[in-house]
Structure 1
Amino acid sequence: MRRLIRFACTGDTLFGTLDEAPGKTGLLIVSGGNEIRIGAHRGMALLAERLAARGIPVLRFDRRGIGDSTGTNGGFLTSGPDIGCAAATFSAEAGIERLVGFGNCDAATALALFGATAGIDRLILANPWVIEETDALPPAAAIRARYAEKLKDPREWLRLARGGVNLSKLAGGLAKVAQSKPEAAESLAARLRAALAASRIDTTILLAARDTTAIAFRDGWDGPVALCDTDSHSFAHSSDAAWLEPQIFSAVTRV
């Protein structure tokens, strides 16, 4: 059964959708960006429905200032209280004994930073957001990966010879790669890694192989990852969804 719930968070009211199931290990889905709990292309709602049919209760919710929830949207770095209140409510409403958190993009980063404080026992992080550049170009790691791919393609060399390549854009990309600086100790990527190391929470990393955000994350991550052969950040293709569900089911049910 799927039902709407609401709960308090620092004086505001958050709304969530609970897909009930008999299992005692529950999945808390945290939405990324300014996305409402249904997810891109209804992806999170469909995922919750399928997992509940396999015995896993699932809660999705809108953080403060998003969707149905009241309050001010302060961005993912202020979402610690939202995740904590959602986790406590989920455990109480569904009798959860073990809680797994799943998020994509900056929701994955928020879970890494705040999941331990929220009492979450296991994390599934998809395409964690660690990009802090303010220019319009992709991260240096993504530029390197893209150029490496192009250099393997004879058609790209033909485009260059025929003048089909934007030389100004090419020069800008090469300059960014050449000028990339060492990671700062207080960077978002460093904070994410430090939080995971300090909490020692069992963590599964899922990455879209050709997604810019995922490429930037992987550049500074030396742990194991599972790669989906896609360029879709939100795992929007049908083949992506077919890959994602068993990955999550396995991580949730693993002893």
Structure 2
Amino acid sequence: MNRTVIGFACEGETLFGTLDMGLASGAVGLLLVSGGNEIRSGAWGGQAALAAALAREGIPVFRFDRRGVGDSSGANLGFRASAPDIAAALAAFRSAAPHVKRVFALGNCDAASALMLHAALLPGLDGLILANPWTLDAENETAPVHSAAALRQHYLRRLVDPRQWARLLAGKVALDKLAQGLRTAAAPQEGSALAQEMRAGLAAFTGPVTILLAEGDRTAQLFRGHWGSDPRVIGHQGNSHSFADAPEWLLRQVMQAIRPG
């Protein structure tokens, strides 16, 4: 595998990306889009490790820092304004690896949201892999609360646990917090304006789409509540938002999405 750092322009700023290529690189590549303020190596180096593993399998990978993040200049305008960054990275990827004929994009959290919002407007993007998409309307929202669906599952587990009944009868349960949790669990899932925008954007995209969810992750649980049933969803029984607890599973799912059959 060889790894090359590449600088490229985006609306007057200079962005930096990293290209991972195997010795026998194929015609299908992956564009890795980072979420939030995360640099292109990813949480705990997860994106760099995924890129290296895919390159060894003959899949070229390009990952980059959007404006105002990591090595790239400019101001970080958030995921809603990241379409020019993604388009510039896609063009840089195709220029640096002209043998790549089809490009899939993988984004986690608000990077997945950005791809859903903008993919139909990005020429040369052939498929999407969306992980734990962010559906809260405010970009600067703190860590999401538990969804109603997740709370219902939580209380159903407690109802069949004799130890929890013993704690309740012994007065070891805060009744006000219990009542608040039950009210939230009983309430219907509120809609999300962002999720509706993402749905509309994704509907305009004509390529294949895979959605990966860590079932124990609160962002993924909120996405399920806002999004509803979707046959494109593949769930993993883990808690890590970045799939740090399942790197091999993530690698298999990405390869399956890129090379179906």
Q: Same fold (TM over 0.5)?
A: yes
Rounded to whole Å, the distance in 1 between the matches of 2:224 and 2:158 is 20
Match of 1:227 among 225, 228, 235: 235
State the 1:175 CA deviation. 3.2
Post-superposition Cα deviations, 1:37-86, rounded to whole Å, max 9, x if no partner, equal: 11111111000000000000001111111111111111111111111111
- Tell me the CA shift for residue 8 of structure 1: 0.6
1:182 CA drift (Å) = 4.7
Which whole-Å CA distance do the structure 2 matches of 1:172 and 1:137 have between them? 13
Q: Secondary structure at the match of 1:116?
A: helix
Alignment of structure 1 residues 1-255 onto 2, 5 Å: 1-21=2-22, 22-95=25-98, 96-119=100-123, 120-132=125-137, 137-180=145-188, 182-183=190-191, 187-219=193-225, 220-224=227-231, 225-237=233-245, 240-254=246-260
Q: How far apart, CA to CA, are the structure 2 residues paired with 1:38 and 1:162?
A: 50
**TM-score scaled by structure 1?**
0.90
What is the number of residues matched between the two proteins? 251
When the two chains are superposed, the root-mean-square deviation of aligned CA atoms in Å is 2.0
The question of whether the paired residues in 2 share the 8 Å contact of 1:33 and 1:76 is answered with yes
In the TM superposition, residue 155 of structure 1 has moved relative to its aligned partner by: 3.0
TM-score (norm 2): 0.88
Q: Check the 8 A contact 2:119/2:201 in 1, yes or no.
A: no
Task: Provide the C-alpha distance between the structure 1 equivalents of 2:200 and 2:26, rounded to a whole number of angstroms.
Answer: 32
Question: In the alignment, is the contact (CA less than 8 A) between 1:101 and 1:115 conserved in 2?
Answer: no
Distance 2:241 2:86 in 1: 22
**TM-superposed deviation, 1:142:** 3.0
- For 1:199, what is the secondary structure of its paired residue? coil
Change (3 A) 1:100 1:142: same
The answer to whether the Cα contact below 8 Å between 1:137 and 1:173 also exists between their aligned partners in 2 is no
Q: In the superposition, relative to structure 1, how do residues 179 and 227 fare at CA in structure 2: closer, same or farther (>3 Å)?
A: closer
Q: Is the 8 A contact 1:127 1:208 kept in 2?
A: yes
Q: What is the Cα deviation at residue 167 of structure 1? A: 3.2
Distance 1:251 1:162, change over 3 A: same
**For residue 242 of structure 1, what is the amino acid of its counterpart?**
E
**Offset of residue 247 of structure 1:** 0.5
- Mark the runs of 5 or more structure 1 residues left unpaired by the alignment: none
In 2, Cα distance between equivalents of 1:202 and 1:251: 8
Structure 2 unaligned blocks of 5 or more: none
Q: State which drifts further: 212-221 or 10-19.
A: 212-221
